[in-house]
């Protein structure tokens, strides 16, 4: 199917960090629903957010576009 876009604010924070993997592996929107994660945070957190993005890429989750 067509990927849905999911916006996560405060994406470099502890709460979002614990949710991102569950969202990306299909626990939230279903195991068949591809998605695009849009990660938003304040400018000073960009280096942390880059690390989060690299971790998600390393997981090679099949639903993540």
Q: Which string of DSSP letters, residue by residue, matches 25-36?
A: TTTTT-TT--EE
pLDDT on residue 10: 97
pLDDT on residue 45: 96
Angle of the 14-24 helix axis to the 46-59 helix axis, nearest 10? 30
pLDDT on residue 13: 95
Alpha carbon distances (Å) from 6 to 13, 38, 39, 40: 16, 6, 8, 11
Spell out the per-residue pLDDT of the chain, length 65, in tens.
899 999 999 999 999 999 999 999 999 999 999 999 999 999 999 999 999 999 999 999 999 99
The model carries a pTM of: 0.87
pLDDT on residue 65: 93
């Amino acid at each position: 199917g067509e990927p849905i876009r999911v916006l996560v604010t405060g994406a470099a924070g502890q709460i979002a960090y614990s949710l991102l993997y569950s969202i990306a592996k299909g626990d939230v929107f279903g195991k068949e629903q591809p998605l695009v994660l849009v990660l938003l945070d304040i400018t000073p957190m960009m280096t942390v957010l880059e690390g989060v993005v690299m971790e998600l890429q390393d997981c090679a989750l099949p639903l993540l576009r």
